[in-house]
Each structure stands twice: as C-alpha cells, then as structure tokens.
Amino acid sequence: MSKKKLVMVGNGMAGVRTLEELLKIAPDHYEITVFGSEPHPNYNRILLSPVLAGEMTIQDIILNDHQWYAENGIRLHLGKTVKRIDRVKRRVIADDGSEEGYDRLLLATGSNPFMLPVPGNDLPGVISYRDIADTDAMIDAAKRYSHAVVIGGGLLGLEAANGLKLRGMDVTVVHLADWLLERQLDETAGRMLQKSLEERGLKFLLGKQTEALVAGESGRVAAIRLKDGLQLPADLVVMAVGIRPNIALAEAAGIYCNRGIVVNDTMQTYDPKVYAVGECVAHRGIAYGLVAPLFEQGKVAANHLGDYGISRYTGSVTSTKLKVTGIDLFSAGDFFGGKDCEEIILNDAAGGVYKKLVIQDNKLVGGVLYGDTADGPWYYQLLRDGQDIHEIRDHLLFGQSHVGDVGHQGHSKAAAMSDSAEVCGCNGVSKGTIVKSIKENGLFTLDDIKKHTKAASSCGSCAGLCEQILSATIGGAYTPAASNRKPVCGCTEFSHQEVRDAIRQQPLLSIGETMRFLEWTTPDGCDKCRPALNYYLISTWPKKAKDDPRSRLINERAHANIQKDGTYSVVPRMWGGLTTAAELRRIADVADKYQVPTIKVTGGQRIDLLGIRKDDLLGVWKDLDMPSGHAYGKSIRTVKTCVGAEHCRFGTQLAMDMGVKLEKMLFDMYSPHKVKLAVSGCPRNCAEAGIKDVGVIGVDSGYELYVGGNGGIKTEVAQFFVKVSNDDEVMEYAGAFLQLYREEAFYLERTCHYLERVGLDHAKSRVVDDEENRKALHGRLLAELKDAKDPWAERIAGVEKNEYETLSV
C-alpha cells in the first residue's frame, strides 16, 4: 500500500518536533516533504541569545542537520517560501515554482516580528531579533559600530541588549512600560532585574515612547528620537516589541483565522486535512510564544496524524526564564493575583532575593522568583497539576527541600554548582556533562537527560536537581510533564491515563491486543509496562480479561519475597494479627523441617520465615496450611489491630473483630500498589492507624476513618475522611474508597500519591457525598472478591514446580 503524503510548511522547532513525534509512533505512515524559508536546517531558536553573547556558535544550536532529514526520508526544500495553498487540488506552491501534493498538510509558519510604525523603521541598521540572519547582523554591527538601542524591555529585548553589551557596544534599552518584563514580573522583581542589568553596564529609559528613527549622512540609522524630544545616538536599532502569528498563507487559502490559525483540541484547522502547530496557531483564543506549549501541541498533532486519535491539547500554563548568564528569574501563572487571592512574599532587597507566591482556593496559581529560582520547577509542577497545598502552605515559600520531598532535599542550587560537581551519584554524572549534553543534543525533557547521560535513571533521587539544571539551561523551553501525562515507560508515548482510557473505550481485553492497538514500540513490552497493563486490564474488565502470570513480578508468581541471597521470605496470613496455638505449632514445625534460619515478627503483626529455598516453597505452603499473607503483592497486605475493647480498659470499639472483618472482606484484592490498613480501638491509636492507606480509629460514638497514610521512605500522615457509626459503615466506606483507588490510580501509585494527584475532595465527593456511587463502588469490590481464593490452592494441588522458571519480570 502506497504511503500518504504529508507536507509541512515551516521548518522551525514546533513543526520538526511534530515530525519527530510522528516518526516515533508511525514511521512508515507518510512520505514527508518540508518547506523552510530559511537556508538552515532546524535549529534551537531559544539559544540564539547565547550565540549573540558569544557563548555558543550557530553550529552548536543545530537540532536536526541535513543528514537527519535524509535518514528519515524527508524531502527538504530550504530557502523556499510557500506562497499559495490549493486546497481543492491539495497542493502547495513555493515562490520558485516548486509544487508538492498532499494528503495531509501541517502548517508551522511561526510568527513575524512586529515593527513599530514610525518614520525610519525601514532604514539600514534597523532590525528585529527572530532568527539566525538577525543574529548575524547584530554580531556584524557590533564589530563596526559603537551605539545600539534596543526598543523593548521584554525577554528578547533584554537578551539582545545583554549580548550586544558583551560584544562591546554601548547599549540603551527603551521601554514603553514602567518596569522591565511587565508581562512576566511584578514591579518589585522588575526593579531588581533593572538594577542587576545596570550593574552590567546596560542603560534604561522606561516609560518612553519612540517617535522616529533618524538617518545619518550615509543613509543608515544614526539616532532614535523619543516623543519627549530626547534623541539618542544609534548605529544599530533592534526592535523587540512583540510578534504576530504568521497567518497570511492560511488566510489566502480560506482557512479560518482569528489572531492566529484557529485549531481545535486535535490541532486541526477548519479544514480537517490541514493541521497547524506553533506560534502561528490560536487555540481556544490563545497564541503561545514559548517553546514548551508548542511541543505539547506537536505531540498531539503527531498522535492524530498517526491515526491514534487519543490525545487532546487543552492549553498550557507557561513559565518564563531569562537567558542571561548570572541572572536568575522565574515566573509562571497568574502572579499578579487579584480578588479572592492570597499573596506570600519574601523580599530581601539587600540579598537580591524576591519571592512572591499567589494562592487561590488552596492552590498555587502564580509565582515570581528573582535571585533564587531553584524551586521554580517544583512550583510550576504544583501550579500545572493544580495540587492542593493547604497542608504545606506554611512551608511553601521556603521551597521543596524544606517540605522534605524525597529527591530534592539537601541539594545545592543548580546555578551555584560548579560544572565538576557530581549530580548523579549512581552513574557518576557531573553537572557539566548534563549541561553539555543539553546544549549539544537539544534536550528538552528529563527523559532526554536520562537517555543521553544516564543521570536520574537509576534511583531517581537526583531527578529534581536535573530538572533545575534543565530549567536553568533552556529557560522557558522546559516544562515538567503533568503528573498524569508521563509515559508508562520507554515502550510507548502514552500515559497511564491514556492507556486506561483506551482499554475502557475500545474495549481491549489482553496485553497483546492493547500493545497492538497502541502500537507499542517494543513488541513484548518491558518489566514496567507489562505488570501495569495486566493490572489495568483485569481491574477494568474483571470478568472478561484474564490475569497473565507472565506479567506478574517474580515475587507475586512465587508468592514469596526474594531476598538478596536468592532465598525467599514466606509470610502466612494472620487475620487482624490474630493467631492460634495450632497455627504457631505448624509454623514451628515448618521452621524445623525446612531448617528456616530466621523467624521474625513483622511490623504488620505476623510471622516471617526467612531463608527458604525456592525448591521448598511448595512444601512450606502445603505444610503451613495457612492462607498467604500477600507480603509480596501489589495487593492488600495487613490489617493491623490493637487489642481494642475486647481486652483494653481504654478501648471504645472492638478493634480486633473489626480488623478481621476488613481483612477477610479484602482478601486477595489486587491493587495499583500495596495497601495497608489498621484499626485502633480508641484515640490512643496503638495500631498506628494514622500512617496507613486506610486507618480506622474507634471513638465513643463510632469510628473515624483516615485515608492516604504511608509509613515508607517519606512518612505521610493519613487525612481525615469521614465519621461513621457502626461496623457496616466502616466496611462500606473503606471498601468504596479502596475500589475508587483501584479504578482510578496509576499502577505503582500509592494511595497518598493518588490523593495528591486527584485531591482529597475528589475522593470525598465520590464516596462520602454520593451515597449511590459509594454503594456501587462497594458492590463492585465485593463482586470482584467474592470468589477470592488462596493463591496457593491450585499449586498445592499439583502445579509443576517449573512454573517458577517462567520469564522473570
């Protein structure tokens, strides 16, 4: 079957990123042709500032050289501008007469710099700052002339001014607003920035309006005249006063435009065969000028060009960082605030540090950082994901390390680190290696850093620092992925949520079927995606999808925890921590018979037999004649209890009885991650219910339920969920919450992380506030678990021992 034809007009970062994403998921789908007006292959436009400053060369910022296009079978027309689109015949015509037919057309025409409509704006020496040609012109002018004026105190204007100053010119910035970067900074931060730049020798005229550009005797620009009559010498004038989406080609072809080429959430124009991405686009009335959202658009466009039809682009929250070496600033979201907003401010003028965080409805909605931007990526992630911050509000201003998040604590600021400083201890990777790889390979994501340097690819504890380095190096082009959009693994571009949605919507009933439908890049998957897919299938279609033992982790297949010496740990279940003399005798007999070297009482009130050989596992379980404690599984582990009102003089409720009921109700429950419960008979909480996934605490009038606790690496205190009056309600509310978690959480996401992502209010609205939905959730849980069996039953009956030798995932 012949390939369809895809023509792309524009050869910039957004368009080529779309092609890169498309080639990943559908490499043989199209014959691709690209038209680019510039004579250069795709380059990193955001690094033009370091080129101007003399820190990099043009060759350093090339992202995709000519060989890349050739290797991917892309026909490349450089230095050719498409002048007309014939939508009837589906052809594009360039200015040299070249024509190409298309089945799908991708418009990535970018934007044009806005030139002030003042006399003299067309004089030699008056330029914009958008591309390599502009950069070359500024470098050449700096060699020959002395005085430069930059009109515009925005990001590009300041980067141009800094670069020209470093090349020896006398530079003045003329800006209409009262402070610099008025769209990215509030006045306090803007004044601090101005002071820092003035210390570097730059001059500023703020609140000034240009009236005309004046020619000299040679006909070249020689001065700039302001409306207040002031006139400045100017051998070079750089206009950096904004951009306009380049929509002329689309408009001439009859494609609907309104402040940009109008697209829907699949990046299609009003002509469904024509897609558009980048600065030329207007999506939901917004045109984006930063790279990060444009890359998100490209990924969605590629998804639909590749005929997947899953992704949607719903808009972006943007962040800003100035690319001037030695100056750290960051802003994101609605940092001006307003009605119903709170502001938390730190202003250390002498120390050159300013922080302003804007909060609304217990969520971070905007922020400005100057002088200390180390926590910029973290704030941006909180803002982007809409996380509830009320519990960390008192510590928010002091950064992530103060809150104590694993992976970021104790890190020095990325900007202050030397290039030789080690970032990744696991793989011995220095900051300099990471920065060099970012620049040379055009890296934009944490996953890119992992692939090219191995940093953050082992234990992951340096991931936060790598993100800081990435943000410091590429500025606004970096954006941390939204927590619900990170790919499942390297075998696919699809997120956990997208995979779950596809399984439910299609429907898909097996791992193979799912991988084929979503075109997994690795035919048989990997140790990350197979267990996840297996869980999503059987949790979505419990009566239709078949559990795949090969996609269970080795511990789950062996029904025991493998230890560092290759032996196994066996933990029989003791309901609610209760046992009998007969069970204890059997455990002792097994320990003697199989020469178990270590017997330990666990924190979950059970007995652990450690040091058992694999060949003895079947015999051990048969002789124990006790159900598995699932100490190895992504499942219900234990329900820890105190002695409760059964024995304790302080007890208000029967904790042991309640614990046994819960554990038997949840027996053999498969879940995204391990689940632990506890029942305390009174508020003294001897069962430590406050750090469990579900904690039940007895009070005089009934029980209080807490959810989302975790006693692991980073202890999370459970949050109050609901007050109930009797045992049946404990079972219903706890069961409904856990079923909601099972149906909505991502694989390997603990309840605390699930609640951090969706919010406690979401869980309450589905369980506490909605009786009908609560009963439905509880009913689905009971229906799925009604036939639960001890996982060793069939094996003890005669399953072959060589099942242990199946593929180890």
Binding-site residue numbers for [4Fe-4S] cluster are 642, 648, 682, 686
Which residue, 342, 330, 358, 320, is CA-closest to 192? 330
**Tokens, residue 619:** 């015999």
* 3-class DSSP assignment, residue 410: coil
Q: How far apart are CA 140 and CA 132, in angstroms?
A: 12
Q: How far apart are CA 111 and CA 208, in angstroms?
A: 26
Strands (E), 402-464: 422-424, 429-430
Q: What's the number of CA atoms in the CB half-sphere (13 Å) around residue 191?
A: 8
* 3-class DSSP assignment, residue 222: strand
Which residue, 143, 155, 135, is CA-closest to 40? 135
Q: How far apart are CA 655 and CA 640, in angstroms?
A: 9
CB within 8 Å of 358: residues ≥ 6 apart: 333, 334, 335, 336, 337, 341, 342, 343, 364, 365, 366, 367
* 3-class DSSP assignment, residue 192: helix
Q: How far apart are CA 258 and CA 572, in angstroms?
A: 67
User: Binding site for siroheme, residues?
Assistant: 686
DSSP letter for each residue of 551-585: GS-HHHHHTSEE-TTS-EEE-B--GGG---HHHHH
**Using an 8 Å Cβ cutoff, are 261 and 247 in contact?**
yes
**Using an 8 Å Cβ cutoff, are 487 and 327 in contact?**
no
Amino acid identity of residue 264, one-letter, is N
Instruction: Give the C-alpha distances (Å, rounded to integers) separating 427 from 22, 420, 609, 633, 713.
Output: 32, 14, 35, 30, 22
Question: Given the DSSP bridges, would you call strands 675-680 and 636-641 parallel, antiparallel or unpaired?
Answer: parallel
Residue 304 phi/psi, 5-degree rounding, is -85, -35
Is the peptide bond preceding residue 27 cis, with omega within 30 degrees of 0? no
CA angle 759, 760, 763 (to 5 degrees): 100
Q: How far apart are CA 228 and CA 277, in angstroms?
A: 42
Amino acid identity of residue 625, one-letter, is D
Q: Where are the alpha helices (DSSP H) in 330-397?
A: 376-385
Instruction: Give the C-alpha distances (Å, rounded to integers) separating 673 from 256, 670, 705.
Output: 49, 8, 20
For tokens 């931060």, the residue is 189
**Tokens, residue 692:** 């469990």
* 3-class DSSP assignment, residue 398: helix
User: Binding site, residues?
Assistant: 642, 648, 682, 686
Q: How far apart are CA 467 and CA 316, in angstroms?
A: 19
